[in-house]
Amino acid sequence: MKKILLMTIVAVMAMGCSCSKKAEQTEQIKPQDRITILHVNDFEKLVHKGEVRVIDVRTRSEYAEGHIAGAENVDVNQPDFVERLRLKGDVAVYCRSGKRSQKAAMMIAEQGYNVYDLGGGIMAWLQSGKPTVR
């Protein structure tokens, strides 16, 4: 009888442990954990690989003044920002100084995508002597 009771207790404990492990494994990743802020040189390498979409989240007129080659312009302050992106994979974002791109990065990360944010924005890009196009 003691053996059966002991085996039952061990079995119940084992089931409890496996359930808690499953809960940990299925725990969702927080949006902020999907955002990586990159230094200019690392951002440039990422852009040149061509494995991410590059999104300039500034206004149309700011974009026209000069942007990173290959970047798409989608203004983060537009009410349909996320819908206009038509997300399909990882994204790299930037703005003028880094504030709007942080907002954009969080909105994108909340959709479950990894986001790479250019630390310091295009101002840091230009200060590092990196090229832009018009």
Residues marked as catalytic: 95
Dist CA 115 CA 91 (whole Å): 5
Dist CA 32 CA 21 (whole Å): 23
Dist CA 62 CA 124 (whole Å): 15
Dist CA 5 CA 83 (whole Å): 58
Beta bridge partners, 133, equal 67
Dist CA 53 CA 49 (whole Å): 11
Give me the residue label for tokens 């009771």.
5
Strands 91-94 and 72-73: unpaired
